Structure 1
Amino acid sequence: MQDYNTIIGAIQMRLNKCPTRSVMDRFRIGSSTLNLIMSRYKALELTIDELEAMSPKEVENLFYPQKNLQRKEVPLPDFQYYYDRIHAPNSRVNISFCWLDYKEKNPDGYEKSQFYEYYQRFVQENYGGTKISMAVNRKPGEKMYIDWVGDQPGLLTDVTTGEIMRVHIFATTLGVSSMIYAEAFPNEKLPCFIEGCVHAVSFYGAVAKHFVPDNLKTAVTKHTKDDLVL
Structure 2
Amino acid sequence: MIHYRKILELHDEGISLRGISVSTGNSRQKVTEVIDLAKKKGVICPLEEEMSDQWLEEFLYPETTLEASGRKPLDFEYIHKELAKPNVTLSLLHHEYEIECRANHKIPYSYRSFVRHYSKYADKYKATLRIRRKPGEIMEVDWAGSTASIIDRDTGERLKAYIFVATLPCSQLSYAEATLSMDLSSWVTAHNHAYKYFGGSTQIIVPDNLKASVTKHTTRDLVLNPTYREMADYYNTIVMPARVRAPKDKPSVEGSVGVISTWIIAALRNTQCFSIDELNKEVWKKLDEFNQRPFTRKQGCRLSAFEEEEKFALSPLPNAPYKMSQWKTAKVRPDYHVSVESMFYSVPYEYINREVEIKLSDNLIEIFFNHMRIASHKRLHGKFGQLATIRDHMPDNHKLFVDQTPEAAIEWAESIGPFTLDIVQYILNTAQAEKQGLQSVFSLKKSERRYTKYEIERACKMITSITNRPTVKSLQTLLKNNKKNDAEQELKRKTEMKENNYGFTRGTAYYKGMDQ
TM-score by length of structure 2 reads 0.18
Instruction: Return the structure number with greater helix share.
Output: 2
- Give the alignment's TM-score, normalised by structure 1: 0.39
- Where relative contact order (Cα < 8 A, 6+ residues apart) is larger, the structure is 1
